[in-house]
């Protein structure tokens, strides 16, 4: 049974970050992608909340926070970093999908002392091209994923509005994280859908290769929204990745106490 869910809001500089909280334990922050919302994680939250306190974010301009002008990836990252400071959050795991992964990369660079683990799912940080080329890929991206999820994709895009989607797309295409990746200190897991038509898997492999010690996992039957297309496998990979660190901590404690 899913623990109680609490809706909360963080305000700073006129921006409103909406989020839900559930579960207990070390924090996990889930950050959705372009034109998405926190609802994109509904197949993942129950599994993650068994052993962690899960924060499901609605970015400024999206989801429950839709009546605002969307921030760029760097602005969104700065807001999340300040929110983490406000909560005194430590040992956090950031999990970001697509634009959310792009944002989480910046947060991990801004707050290395607070972010212990980073999970990048089909992240857009190395995506290049112009908005028209990206738009041309959308029909194929739609049919390579879970078709029953398409109504949610369209509903969230409509709620955000075309101006916010346009602003966010042009901003992320102009922000390249290549120079940032070698400086990241968080343990990193990169998860990609092999059928991703929007951000191809070759970009995922490049991303993982550029981050020190990063682990790369590719799911053969998944498309761009990998955590929706293959939720059980996605959840298992994340939880195994986090448990591996916990086992390492326990071994280190035993060694120190010997």
All structural domains of the chain with their residue ranges? 6-251
Tokens of 214: 């990063």
Q: Maximum CA pair distance of the chain?
A: 61
* Cβ–Cβ < 8 Å for 111, 167: no
What are φ and ψ of residue 172, in 5° steps? -70, -30
| Whole-number pLDDT of residue 162 | 87
Which residue's entry shows tokens 């991703």?
A: 196
Fold of 6-251: Rossmann fold (3.40.50)
Q: Is the pTM of this model over 0.75?
A: yes
DSSP E strand boundaries for 80-221: 92-97, 115-121, 187-193, 215-219
Q: What is the C-alpha to C-alpha distance for residues 109 and 61, in angstroms, rounded to an integer?
A: 23
Q: What is the C-alpha to C-alpha distance for residues 117 and 255, in angstroms, rounded to an integer?
A: 23
| Whole-number pLDDT of residue 183 | 96
Residues 6 or more apart whose CB falls under 8 angstroms from that of 218 comprise 191, 192, 193, 194, 201, 204, 205
Show the CA angle centred on residue 18, arms to residues 147 and 125, nearest 5°.
Answer: 60
* Cβ–Cβ < 8 Å for 113, 88: no
| Whole-number pLDDT of residue 198 | 87
Low-confidence ranges of the chain (pLDDT < 50): 1, 136
| Whole-number pLDDT of residue 246 | 77
| Whole-number pLDDT of residue 223 | 92
């Amino acid at each position: 049974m899913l623990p109680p869910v609490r809706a909360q809001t963080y305000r700073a500089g006129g921006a409103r970050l909406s989020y839900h909280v559930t579960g207990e334990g070390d924090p996990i922050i889930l950050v959705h992608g372009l034109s998405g919302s926190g609802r994109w994680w509904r197949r993942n939250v129950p599994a993650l909340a068994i052993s962690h306190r899960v924060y499901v974010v609605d970015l400024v301009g999206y989801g429950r926070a839709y009546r605002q002008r969307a921030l760029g990836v760097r602005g969104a990252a700065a807001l999340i970093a300040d929110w983490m400071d406000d909560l005194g959050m430590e040992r956090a795991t950031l999990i970001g999908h697509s634009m959310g992964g792009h944002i989480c990369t910046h947060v991990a660079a801004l707050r290395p002392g607070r972010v212990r683990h980073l999970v990048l799912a089909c992240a857009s940080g190395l995506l290049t091209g112009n908005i028209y080329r990206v738009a041309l890929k959308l029909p194929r991206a739609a049919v390579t994923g879970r078709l029953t999820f398409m109504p949610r994709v369209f509903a969230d895009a409509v709620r955000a509005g075309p101006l916010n989607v346009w602003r966010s797309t042009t901003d992320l295409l102009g922000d390249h994280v290549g120079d940032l990746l070698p400086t990241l200190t968080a343990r990193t897991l990169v998860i990609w859908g092999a059928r991703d038509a929007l951000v191809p898997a070759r970009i995922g492999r490049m991303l993982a290769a550029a981050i020190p010690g990063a682990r790369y996992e590719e799911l053969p039957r998944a498309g761009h929204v990998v955590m929706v297309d293959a939720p059980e496998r996605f959840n298992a990979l994340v939880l195994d990745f986090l448990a591996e660190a916990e086992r390492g901590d326990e071994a280190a404690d035993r060694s120190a106490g010997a």
